[in-house]
Amino acid sequence: MNRLVAIFALTCAISPVAAPRARVDFCHACDFSHYQTYRWAGPPNVDPLNQLMQQRVVAFVEEALSARKLKRVEKGGDLVIDFQINVREQPVFTTFATGFGGGWDFGWGSSIATTTTEVFTWGTLTVDLVDSRGNRLVFQGVSTTPISSRPSRNTRRLARAVNEIFEKYPPR
Give per-residue burial for 9-37: e unless 16+ CB within 10 Å, then b: eeeeeeeeeeebebebebbeebebeebee
- Boundaries of domain holding 80: 22-98+107-166
From first to last of the 172 residues of the chain, give the pLDDT tens digit. Answer: 444 444 444 444 554 445 557 899 999 999 998 999 999 987 766 666 678 888 899 999 999 999 999 999 998 889 999 999 888 888 888 888 776 655 555 556 667 778 888 888 888 999 999 999 989 999 999 999 898 889 899 999 999 999 999 998 888 7
136 domain-assigned:
yes
**Tell me, what's the pLDDT at 169?**
87
Phi/psi at 26 (5° precision): -155, 165
172 domain-assigned:
no
8 domain-assigned:
no
90 domain-assigned:
yes
144 domain-assigned:
yes
CATH of the domain at 151: 3.30.160.670
87 domain-assigned:
yes
pTM of the entire predicted model = 0.73
**Tell me, what's the pLDDT at 108?**
61
| Maximum C-alpha span of the chain | 78
The total domain count for the chain is 1
3 domain-assigned:
no
Residue type, 131: D
